[in-house]
A = this chain, B = another copy of it.
Amino acid sequence: MKESAPHSIDPELVFKAWEKIKGHVHHTPVLTSSLFNKRIGARVFFKAENLQRTGSYKIRGATHAILSLSEKDRKKGVVTHSSGNFAQALSRAAGNFGIPAYIVMPTNAPRIKREAVKLYGGKITDCEPTLEARESAAFKIKEETGATFVHPSNDLQVILGQGSAAVEFIHKVLDLNCLVAPVGGGGLLAGTALAASFLSPTCEVIGAEPFEVDDAYRSLQSGRIETNKTTNTIADGLRTQLGDVSFPIIKKHVSRIIRVEEQEIKDAMRWVWERMKIIIEPSSAVAVAAVLREPYYFEGKKVGILISGGNTDVGQPVFL
């Protein structure tokens, strides 16, 4: 039996993960906006993981995955394939421990993300922009170097690390009625769900995703992992789909998924930039848009929103 089976996961592990990694990551602030509260008629709290090291929560999972390796395996390094935030996060986390991070990146990855990976000391291997090419390049590196492959979301140690954001959030804001997190690969949502189920069992956990890539919504409906035929969303971090580790956790602990339109994502993103003075990426705006879309659902409640990251082009914001 795989360790991914939901009944085998002790939710307390997410608390232990937080204890392990807390010295390696920022304890990010929780922000509020009275204007936002007025719009929703609720008390809404934003956990600003865009202010986390490397600009997203992903360093939490990357750090925890590395800390979970044996001393011997750790020295050989880690490998992943990613064109996004996890590439930066794993590079930086590996750098903190003085071990190599091998990053397989498709040749069409944005220049700015490539530069960030280099800045953090990641060793980039180029590959064609297909999943097959990415996986085979990563496998080859693993064989040659003995490095451990770390999946950006479908990995229990990664999920437990991501959940540490919710651990801090729940500790900071008592009695949250619900937690809203964006869902792509499901690492953040699954980790958040585990944290809530352990530390705040009455807190409802809600996912947020674009209509354009609503695989998580459909997966919860059908009871099995669904895929996206197209990925026409500006929320570049959510173009992936759930995996066999993240899905069972989400199925067990997440009550619902709210879907949002592309224009709602843009509007929410601009609103947060303008009013709250923080740079959030489109994937984070999805969670904000979900709350704005259903104010009647959240009215009168104490709501927590996980702001997942802020890695986006600040000179040409996608909301324009």
- Known A53-B34, A315-B320, A320-B315; contact A310-B277, beta-carbon cutoff 8 A: yes
Query: Do the beta carbons of B273 and A314 come within 8 Å of each other?
Result: yes
Known A-B contacts A31-B51, A51-B31; A317 and B315 likewise in contact (beta carbons under 8 Å) = yes
Among A16-39, those with CB < 8 Å from B are 26, 29, 31-32, 34-35
Q: Are A55 and B314 in contact (CB under 8 A)?
A: no
How many residues on A have C-beta within 8 angstroms of the other chain's C-beta atoms? 26
Q: List A52-87 residues whose CB lies under 8 Å from chain B.
A: 53, 55
CA distance A277 to B312 in the complex (A): 9
Copies of this polypeptide in the complex: 2
In the complex, the answer to whether B315 meets A51 with C-beta atoms within 8 Å is no
Which of B278, B315, B320 lies in contact with A277, CB distance below 8 A? B278
- Min Cβ gap A83→B in Å is 18
A274 part of interface (Cβ distance < 8 Å): yes
Q: Please indicate the chain B residues that have their CB under 8 angstroms from the CB of A278 in the complex.
A: 51, 277-279
Cβ distance A118 to chain B, nearest Cβ, rounded Å = 13
When C-beta atoms are compared, the residue in chain B nearest to A311 turns out to be B277
Contact A270 B315, CB 8 Å, known A50-B277, A55-B277: yes
Q: CB within 8 Å of B: which of A162-214?
A: none
Is A276 positioned at the interface, with any CB of B under 8 Å from its CB?
yes
Name the residue of chain B whose CB is nearest to the CB of A315. B320
Chain A, 228-277, CB within 8 A of any chain B CB:
270, 273-277
Name the distance in Å between A216's Cβ and chain B's nearest Cβ: 25
When A and B form their complex, which 9 residue pairs have the shortest distance between CB atoms, in order from nearest?
Answer: A277-B310, A29-B29, A277-B279, A273-B314, A50-B277, A274-B314, A278-B278, A55-B277, A315-B320
